[in-house]
Amino acid sequence: MRKSGPMTDPQQPAAAHQSDADDVEQYACPKCGAQPGSPCRSRGGAVASAYHTRRFTMVPRLKKTLRVPTPADRGPGRPWRPGTPPPAPINPELPSADIRIGYARCSTLGQELDSQLDALAKHGIPRDKIFSEKISTRVRVRPKFEEALRTAREVKAHAPHCRVIFTVYEMKRLGRDAAELTALADHLTAHGLVLEMLAGPLPGIYDPSGPGKLLFAFFAAMAETERENIRESTLEGLDTAARKGKHGGRPPVITDDMLHTVLRRRANGESVEQIQPDLIIPTGKRKGQNPSVASIYRALAEHAKREAYPEAVEQARADFAALKAGGALPEPRTEGLAAGSTTAHSA
């Protein structure tokens, strides 16, 4: 089968390997009425085994061809269904331009986005074309990210003659999962969009062909490995701090000084409700406010547990010593046990 080789816009997918069927389906069929993008239809309502002569002779290079069969992927003989119309040809006289859509992201609310926003703005992206959010890449659905992708696709659909560039500061802003990053790059390429990174290991326009794709996959895997290393280091640090008695989290509402005040005033006959208005939270988000009555009662309950535990241990030791002194404990058994075995005691 002969291949056509028309010149194509460098910003559009190459059509150098377009088949005879693709060329024929650029036209509507004057005989069966099939619209562009669809195979010819037989009288019985099935996909015709070959294109009608009046249709394929519209293609200049096929004017002298006797027959153009319908390719197997069009399903000849099967019930006819309309296909996807081919994209409208781009007028070469239309001015072409680069349209950039920016995306900025950080993982936590405590991190700042200013450096990314400034870098994207300096690259010529208007603020209203930059989508930003504070969300972890572990969250599968990122609203602003999805909105940025949707906007880029819509812009490309309305301005197919322009190059639409999806710009981020670095690869890690898109995600840290290798499979997800590779799928995203393929998605952008399939929709005629261009990926651009301003910093990181692969700055510049992403080339989806040849070495560019291999490098992108390599650094995507490196980004995933880096995330796992960060996670393991964080867990190790938390475990080490916990062994040293340091636990993360917000500071307690009821401090030791406040607890001592409550205990002293309760000993003098005051109720928790009377003491509560005089207590002030010294740190945290509620700094300067009064703690709730429930918080005070929880602190008192925890204090009671801490005080009761040592007393219970001392009482148990005293009871054990009394039983041993009174001869109420049986003698340990040593017969029938191998040397070095642990002797069992029963109280």
Q: DSSP of 98-122, one letter per residue?
A: EEEEEEEEESSTTS--HHHHHHHHH
C-alpha radius of gyration, the chain, whole number: 38
Q: pTM of the prediction?
A: 0.44
> Is the distance from CB of 120 to CB of 127 less than 8 angstroms?
no
What is d(CA 224, CA 138) in angstroms, rounded to the nearest whole number? 11
Q: What does the pLDDT look like over 142-191, one tens digit per residue?
A: 899 999 999 999 988 888 888 899 999 988 888 767 777 888 888 888 88
pLDDT at 6 over 50: no
DSSP secondary structure string for all residues of 22-50:
HHHTTS--TTT-PPTTS--B-TTSBB-SB
86-106 pLDDT per residue, tens: 665 556 665 568 899 999 998
Alpha helix segments (H runs only) across the chain? 20-24, 53-56, 114-122, 143-158, 178-190, 211-243, 256-267, 272-275, 293-325
What residue type is 193 in one-letter code?
L
For range 123-134, the mean pLDDT: 92
Q: What is the pLDDT of residue 51?
A: 95
**Over residues 312-340, mean pLDDT:** 60
Q: Indicate the pLDDT class of residue 125, thresholds 50, 70 and 90.
A: very high
Whether the predicted pLDDT of 328 surpasses 50: yes
pLDDT, residue 4, reads 39
Among 26-40, 65-79, 135-149, the minimum mean pLDDT is found in 135-149
Instruction: Please state, in angstroms and rounded to a whole number, the distance separating the CA atoms of residues 147 and 275.
Output: 53
pLDDT of residue 346 exceeding 80, the answer is no
13 — pLDDT class (breaks 50, 70, 90): very low
Give the model's pLDDT for residue 47.
Answer: 93
Tokens of 38: 């669809």
CB 207 within 8 A of CB 213: yes
pLDDT of residue 116: 92
Distance between CA atoms of 107 and 227, rounded to whole angstroms? 12
| Amino acid 50: pLDDT | 94
Cα dihedral 35/38/42/48 (nearest 10): 150
| Bridging pattern class, strands 194-197 and 130-134 | unpaired
Residue 340 CA to its chain's centroid (Å) = 58
Task: For strands 163-168 and 194-197, give the pairing.
Answer: parallel
